[in-house]
């Protein structure tokens, strides 16, 4: 059972500034799904995968955004309790630092 399901507040430090989003992850019999809401749009998450890690749970996913630019982002984060940290990458652009925490409820 994954420790990921629930609502998360994420902050990404990108070359164009900090971007905040709310992620929602849901566990089903056939795996995990999710969505991201931020910058005036809500998009589905694709290929949500988890794997055990010595410090918590490694989580990866992709998502396509259209604001501020049309980009496909690939995320790789480590979830430890109610905190997460890692990075995202959009194609050849530099990695962006990602941090986040679980939201109540």
CATH number at residue 55: 2.40.128
75: in domain: yes
**pTM of structure:** 0.93
Please report whether residue 65 resides in a domain. yes
Q: Is residue 31 part of a domain?
A: yes
Residue 83 lies in a domain: yes
The verdict on residue 55 lying in a domain is: yes
pLDDT of residue 39: 83
Distance of CA 51 to the CA centre of its chain: 15
Residue 87 and residue 5 in contact, taking contact as beta carbons nearer than 8 Å: no
- pLDDT tens per residue across span 2-55: 889 999 999 999 877 899 999 999 999 989 999 999 988 999 999 999 999 999
Host domain of residue 45: 6-99
CA dist., res. 87 & res. 95, Å (int):
6
Number of domains comprising the chain? 1
- Could you tell me if residue 105 is inside a domain? no
Would you state the pLDDT for residue 73? 95
């Amino acid at each position: 059972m994954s420790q990921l399901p629930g609502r998360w507040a994420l902050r990404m430090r990108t070359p164009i500034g900090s971007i905040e989003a709310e992620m929602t992850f849901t566990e089903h019999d056939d795996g995990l799904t999710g969505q991201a809401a931020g910058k005036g749009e809500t998009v589905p998450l694709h290929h949500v995968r988890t794997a055990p890690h010595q410090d918590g749970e490694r989580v990866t996913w992709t998502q396509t955004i259209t604001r501020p630019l049309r980009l496909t982002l690939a995320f790789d984060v480590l979830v430890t309790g109610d905190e997460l940290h890692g990075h995202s990458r959009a194609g050849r652009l530099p990695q962006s630092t990602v941090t986040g925490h679980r939201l109540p409820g």
